């Protein structure tokens, strides 16, 4: 099973920025390490990738996670803003990967993303409440999907 875990930062890990680096709580760092054991962790954040890589280092990830490169102007078509601006870029990135199942964890996933994920049996969306961020229940949800226990 080639599993991917796409992980947003703001609204999910809710880090604080101090001395030019992002920091998350030890509890949240433990959840991210759990996610990294479920599959290949990939940053899906609009933060500069250098900040995401530093964050991964601070969290204690065994491997340096890739980061999806998003353009500064997220809307693929500025004249028709999408409910989920990252969707276009995530789909494009996933189209170049070899994987069996993928989980995308982001606090901003709209109806367009939900519709796409319904059509793509290999993709499952996990959408934390940005005020709470990532919880153990979200990790359990990701684990169940990647283990094939839920469609
Ligand atoms: Mg977010």
Distance 10 CA to ligand 1 centre (A): 4
pLDDT at residue 75 tops 90? no
Q: 14-53, pLDDT tens digit by residue?
A: 999 888 889 999 999 999 999 999 999 999 999 988 899 9
Q: Is the pTM of this model over 0.85?
A: yes
Residue 84, C-beta contacts closer than 8 angstroms, at least 6 positions apart: 108, 109, 110, 112, 113
Percentage of the chain surpassing pLDDT 90? 80
Q: What is the pLDDT of residues 127-144, one digit of tens each?
A: 999 999 999 999 999 999
CA of 78 to the centre of ligand 1 (A): 20
Q: How far is the CA of 24 from the centre of ligand 1 (A)?
A: 15
Domain-embedded: residue 47: yes
- Tell me whether residue 151 is in a domain: no
- In which band, very low, low, confident or very high, does the pLDDT at 73 lie, cut at 50, 70 and 90? confident
Please indicate, yes or no, if residue 59 is contained in any of the structural domains: yes
Average pLDDT over residues 96-114: 97
Assign residue 124 the CATH number of its domain: 3.40.50
Domain contains 80: yes
Q: How far is the CA of 62 from the centre of ligand 1 (A)?
A: 24
Query: In total, how many domains does the chain have?
Result: 1
pLDDT digits (tens, 9 = 90+) for 82-97: 899 999 999 999 999 9
Look at residue 121 and tell me if it is in a domain: yes
Q: Is residue 82 part of a domain?
A: yes
Output the CA–CA distances (angstroms, integers) from residue 37 to 4, 78, 112, 118, 142, in the order listed.
Answer: 10, 37, 29, 25, 11
**Protein residues with C-beta less than 5 angstroms from the ion ligand 1:** 8, 10-11, 107
Mean pLDDT rounded to a whole number for the chain:
94
Kindly state whether residue 125 falls inside one of the protein's structural domains. yes
Give the range of the structural domain holding residue 42, as residue numbers without chain letter.
Answer: 3-146
């Amino acid at each position: 099973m080639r599993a991917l875990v796409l992980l947003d930062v703001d609204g999910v890990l809710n880090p604080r920025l101090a001395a030019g680096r992002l920091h998350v709580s030890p509890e949240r760092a433990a959840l991210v390490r759990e996610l990294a054991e479920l599959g290949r962790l990939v940053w899906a954040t609009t933060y500069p990738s250098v900040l995401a890589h530093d964050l991964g280092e601070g969290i204690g990830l065994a491997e340096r996670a890739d980061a999806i490169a998003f353009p500064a102007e997220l809307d693929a078509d500025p004249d028709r803003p999408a409910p989920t601006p990252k969707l276009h870029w995530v789909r494009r990135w996933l189209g170049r990967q070899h994987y069996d199942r993928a989980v995308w964890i982001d606090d901003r996933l709209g109806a367009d993303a939900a519709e796409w994920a319904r059509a793509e049996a290999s993709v499952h969306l996990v959408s934390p409440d940005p005020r709470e961020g990532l919880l153990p229940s979200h990790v359990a949800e990701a684990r169940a999907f990647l283990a094939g226990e839920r469609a």
